[in-house]
């Protein structure tokens, strides 16, 4: 298969559709192959009667004694059929589908699938139902139906059609794993697994396919990591980090004492910085453990030794926030250094000026997003790189920098709790430190889980907190209303809330569809307490720090993963005041979702992460996205820990006998790695 070919090479896909596919990240053959369904739909068991408990999306097994009649109106043909069920009447309606008359024959049984409504007259109605014979329905019922991420103008059926065409006409997909590994681990073939991920024969086939692809993902990841590690000999440390007067001065002047965990971590890193080799270290610390101040202290240390340092944040909002915090410290402690901000929206003259400074100025504290590590950046003497929250600073960026100058020390700060053994596998050579404690003065967050009927009470509670001078976040899953789900959305929620408070509380909204400038404006106002309530999507999940916020309300909390809920909750409880987190359980019925009970009863991220595993049955097919680093397309480092272990062992064994993949039988693997690096989403 030509993985790099544009999907517009497929029959039936034009330039316009190509653009739509590009906007969902599936613009090439390779990417479309990897554009796995978001979830799968199972056709329901057919019902034979409709009553008030009937599901909204239903399959009804029945006969239409008199067949289909056709009503011609001026605008269109309407096909109608009526049938009597056990306790109710059902009317079936099709618009502009006159041919349905020859498909639905009088007296025969069919399954009709569609949205079921009850009319005011008491008659049930289904519009545009799909029609199956009972045999056809049996067959399709076994097959999980793919449901894709869509965008306006791109329907699920259009994606299905494109993927089908791709498998039919796109060319052969070669196996690339060595046969002995396939056999040893009982893995299904590559091509078949990709196909079954999109169009599974049944649920078991889906699990088998996923297993193979998860293995592949880990396998590819480890091979790359190992091959690159071989190229990376330890680099001797060219930096001199001995002066520490300003570092000490700031540390002593902080309004708080560092926790034991912070002190230990700082100590270890200082040893790294003056060690024999350039260091790479992963620092894990739960949300709120105070990682940012460590970054700042170390950057001051770099500065007073005449070196540049850079802090890379995963989002612009966060980068801006760190930058402002740093500027504040610099002023407060009268430091003779300055800080600059580089993000995607730093443009034109401002960007040129910043770039100029970065190319020439010693002792600069540089803060930014990915924009920091684009090809055209030139650093004067970058000695320390800190990445916040995400492991996105890969081997590539490191290479790029070392080609331009000397190798910087690299620190990765993460709140994702990964057991140490796992971290060693995933982060390869990196040293790992863990900050175990959180600042002592902090009160543990008080949690509660409630059903939607308690929402108004939550709003009232927010108002009380606001009157006491505090602020609140409310998280909704969606940006705007969607036909597909009834989950809360930021846009309408914001409106409703403004109406409810009637001007007594300033409410603002924040979501990922806003421009960087808009987001920044909203965050700045919230940070300055000009707005008191921020209704947001999970864009605020990573790293935002507004210590004055004391309430977090999470709507439809049952829709989020445990790790994500914990991250979100971490936005409060950052100051000295009592904070509260209210999880609103949007599930039907009176019972509380088990996962929410877990986060309610524990504030400890590590404990929650281990629960996470147990609470995920096969039903939670994709597992729970661990927020932050290490996003694999399918694999989940917790759920698939055993597969990961296997892949890691297999890769070690493979590279031990063929370190550079020179053997003929490993050529397909080498080819796959080259190809997938360019075409298929990878982590490195
Ligand atoms: P995270 O580890 O989640 O990135 P932050 O670095 O944003 O946490 O710190 C959260 C808050 O805690 C900040 O307001 C920070 O100033 C404060 N903080 C950091 N260290 C301490 C400490 N030792 N004692 C008290 N407050 C601290
Ligand atoms: Mg942080």
Per-position b or e across 420-449, b if 16+ CB within 10 A of its CB = eebbbbbbeebeebbbeebbeebeebebeb
| Cβ-based neighbour number of residue 591 at 10 Å | 10
Averaged in consecutive runs of 10 residues, what is the pLDDT profile of the chain (684 residues)?
91 93 91 88 90 86 94 91 94 93 94 93 93 94 89 93 96 94 97 96 91 93 78 81 96 94 94 91 84 96 96 86 95 97 91 95 94 86 85 60 79 73 66 80 90 94 96 93 80 96 94 87 91 91 82 93 83 91 90 86 76 47 38 72 86 91 91 71 32
Query: What is the SS3 assignment for 634-659?
Result: CCCCCCCHHHHHHHHHHHHHHHHHCC
**Measured distance CA(646)–CA(642) in Å, rounded:** 6
24 Cβ below 6 A of ligand 1: no
548 Cβ below 6 A of ligand 1: no
Q: Under a CB-based contact definition with an 8 Å cutoff, are residues 356 and 381 in contact?
A: no
Taking the centre of ligand 1 as the mean of its atom positions, its distance from the CA of residue 103, in whole angstroms, is 67
Per-position b or e across 610-636, b if 16+ CB within 10 A of its CB = ebbeebbeeeebbbbebbbbbbbbbbb
Question: Do strands 39-41 and 365-368 pair parallel, antiparallel, or not at all (unpaired)?
Answer: unpaired
Ligand 1 pocket, mutate which of 264, 293, 569 (most atoms under 8 A from CB):
293
Which protein residue's CA is at the shortest distance from atom 17 of ligand 1? Answer: 290
Looking at residue 382, the DSSP 8-state letter turns out to be E
287 Cβ below 6 A of ligand 1: yes
Q: What is the pLDDT of residue 585?
A: 94
Taking the centre of ligand 1 as the mean of its atom positions, its distance from the CA of residue 263, in whole angstroms, is 13
Q: Under a CB-based contact definition with an 8 Å cutoff, are residues 312 and 388 in contact?
A: yes
Taking the centre of ligand 2 as the mean of its atom positions, its distance from the CA of residue 25, in whole angstroms, is 29
The token duo for 440 is 């002592």
Ligand 1 pocket, mutate which of 290, 295, 542 (most atoms under 8 A from CB):
290
Ligand 1: nearest atom to the Cα of 287: 3
288 Cβ below 6 A of ligand 1: yes
Taking the centre of ligand 1 as the mean of its atom positions, its distance from the CA of residue 438, in whole angstroms, is 8
Q: Which residue has the tokens 């350039």?
A: 278
**Measured distance CA(28)–CA(18) in Å, rounded:** 9
Ligand approaching nearest to the C-alpha of 388: 2
189 Cβ below 6 A of ligand 1: no
258 Cβ below 6 A of ligand 1: yes
Q: What is the pLDDT of residue 625?
A: 38
Taking the centre of ligand 1 as the mean of its atom positions, its distance from the CA of residue 250, in whole angstroms, is 15
Which protein residue's CA is at the shortest distance from atom 26 of ligand 1? Answer: 439
322 Cβ below 6 A of ligand 1: no
Q: Which residue has the tokens 């609103």?
A: 584
Taking the centre of ligand 2 as the mean of its atom positions, its distance from the CA of residue 119, in whole angstroms, is 54
Ligand 1: nearest atom to the Cα of 289: 2
Taking the centre of ligand 2 as the mean of its atom positions, its distance from the CA of residue 313, in whole angstroms, is 9
Taking the centre of ligand 1 as the mean of its atom positions, its distance from the CA of residue 413, in whole angstroms, is 13
Strands (E), 545-603: 549-554, 580-585
Ligand 1: nearest atom to the Cα of 545: 7
**Measured distance CA(617)–CA(595) in Å, rounded:** 12
Which protein residue's CA is at the shortest distance from atom 12 of ligand 1? Answer: 290
Q: What angle (nearest 5°) sits at the alpha carbon of residue 461, between those of residues 456 and 465?
A: 150
644 Cβ below 6 A of ligand 1: no
Taking the centre of ligand 1 as the mean of its atom positions, its distance from the CA of residue 136, in whole angstroms, is 60
CA 614: distance to chain centroid? 21
The protein residues having their C-beta less than 5 angstroms from ligand 2 (an ion) are: 543
Ligand 1: nearest atom to the Cα of 285: 2
Looking at residue 296, the DSSP 8-state letter turns out to be H
Q: Under a CB-based contact definition with an 8 Å cutoff, are residues 378 and 353 in contact?
A: no
579 Cβ below 6 A of ligand 1: no
Entry pTM: 0.64
Taking the centre of ligand 2 as the mean of its atom positions, its distance from the CA of residue 368, in whole angstroms, is 14
292 Cβ below 6 A of ligand 1: yes
416 Cβ below 6 A of ligand 1: no
Taking the centre of ligand 1 as the mean of its atom positions, its distance from the CA of residue 290, in whole angstroms, is 3
547 Cβ below 6 A of ligand 1: yes
256 Cβ below 6 A of ligand 1: yes
611 Cβ below 6 A of ligand 1: no
Q: What is the pLDDT of residue 428?
A: 65
Taking the centre of ligand 2 as the mean of its atom positions, its distance from the CA of residue 388, in whole angstroms, is 7
Which protein residue's CA is at the shortest distance from atom 18 of ligand 1? Answer: 290
Where residue 503 falls (left for φ over 0; alpha for ψ -120 to 50; beta otherwise) is left
545 Cβ below 6 A of ligand 1: yes
**Measured distance CA(432)–CA(15) in Å, rounded:** 48
Taking the centre of ligand 1 as the mean of its atom positions, its distance from the CA of residue 429, in whole angstroms, is 28
């Amino acid at each position: 298969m030509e993985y790099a070919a544009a999907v517009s090479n497929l029959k039936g896909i034009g330039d316009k559709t190509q653009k739509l596919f590009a906007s969902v990240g599936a613009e090439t053959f390779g990417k479309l192959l990897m554009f796995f369904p978001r979830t799968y739909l199972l056709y329901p068991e057919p019902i034979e009667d409709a009553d008030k408990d009937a599901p909204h999306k239903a399959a009804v097994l029945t006969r239409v004694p008199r067949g289909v009649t056709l009503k011609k109106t001026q605008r269109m043909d309407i096909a109608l059929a009526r049938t009597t069920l056990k306790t109710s009447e059902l009317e079936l309606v099709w618009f502009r589908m006159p041919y349905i008359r020859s498909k639905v024959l009088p007296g025969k049984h069919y399954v009709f699938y569609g949205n079921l409504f009850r009319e005011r007259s008491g008659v049930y109605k289904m519009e545009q139902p799909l029609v199956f014979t009972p045999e056809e329905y049996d067959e399709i019922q076994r097959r999980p139906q793919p449901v894709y991420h869509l965008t306006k103008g791109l329907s699920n059926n259009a994606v299905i059609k494109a993927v089908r065409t791709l498998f039919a006409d796109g060319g052969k997909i070669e196996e690339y794993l060595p046969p002995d590994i396939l056999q040893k681990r009982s893995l299904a073939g590559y091509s078949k697994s990709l196909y079954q991920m999109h169009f599974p024969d049944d649920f078991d086939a889906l699990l088998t396919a996923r297993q193979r692809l998860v293995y592949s993902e880990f396998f590819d990841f480890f091979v790359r990591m190992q091959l690159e590690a071989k190229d990376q000999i330890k680099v001797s440390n060219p930096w001199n980090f001995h002066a520490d007067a300003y570092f000490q001065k700031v540390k002593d002047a902080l309004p708080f004492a560092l926790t034991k965990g912070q002190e230990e971590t700082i100590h270890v890193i200082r040893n790294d910085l003056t060690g024999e080799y350039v260091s790479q270290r992963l620092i894990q610390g739960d949300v709120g453990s105070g990682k940012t101040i460590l970054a700042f202290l170390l950057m001051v240390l770099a500065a007073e030794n005449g070196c540049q340092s850079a802090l890379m944040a995963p989002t612009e909002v966060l980068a801006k926030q760190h930058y402002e915090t740093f500027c504040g410290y610099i002023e407060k402690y009268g430091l003779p250094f300055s800080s600059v901000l580089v993000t995607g929206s730093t443009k034109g003259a401002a960007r040129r000026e910043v770039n100029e400074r970065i190319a020439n100025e010693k002792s600069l504290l540089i803060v930014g997003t990915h924009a920091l590590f684009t090809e055209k950046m030139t650093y004067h003497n970058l000695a320390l790189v800190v990445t916040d929250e995400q492991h996105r600073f890969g081997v590539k960026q490191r290479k790029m920098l070392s080609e331009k100058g000397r190798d910087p020390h690299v620190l990765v700060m993460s709140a994702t709790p990964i057991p140490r053994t796992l971290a060693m596998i995933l982060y390869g050579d990196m040293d790992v430190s863990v900050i175990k404690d959180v600042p002592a003065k902090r009160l543990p967050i008080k949690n509660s889980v409630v059903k939607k009927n308690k929402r108004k009470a939550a709003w009232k509670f927010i108002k009380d907190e606001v009157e006491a001078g505090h602020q609140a976040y409310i998280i909704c899953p969606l940006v705007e209303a969607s036909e597909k789900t009834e989950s809360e959305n930021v846009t309408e929620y914001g409106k409703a809330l403004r109406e409810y408070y009637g001007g007594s509380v300033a409410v603002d909204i924040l979501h990922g569809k806003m421009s960087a400038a808009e987001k920044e404006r909203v965050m700045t106002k919230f940070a300055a307490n000009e707005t008191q309530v921020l209704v947001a999507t999970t864009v605020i999940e990573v790293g935002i720090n507004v210590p004055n916020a004391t309430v977090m309300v999470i709507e439809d909390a049952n829709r989020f993963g445990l790790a994500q809920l914990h991250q979100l909750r971490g936005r409060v409880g950052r100051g000295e005041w009592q904070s509260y987190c209210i999880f609103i359980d949007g599930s039907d019925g009176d019972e509380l979702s088990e996962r929410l009970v877990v986060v309610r009863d524990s504030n400890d991220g590590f404990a929650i992460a281990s629960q996470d595993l147990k609470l995920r049955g096969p039903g939670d097919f994709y597992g729970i996205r661990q927020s932050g680093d290490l996003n694999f397309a399918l694999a989940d480092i917790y759920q698939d820990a055993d597969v990961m272990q296997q892949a890691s062992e297999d890769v070690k064994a493979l590279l031990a006998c063929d370190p550079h993949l020179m053997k003929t039988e490993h050529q397909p693997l080498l080819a796959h790695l080259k190809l997938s690096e360019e075409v298929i989403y990878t982590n490195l």
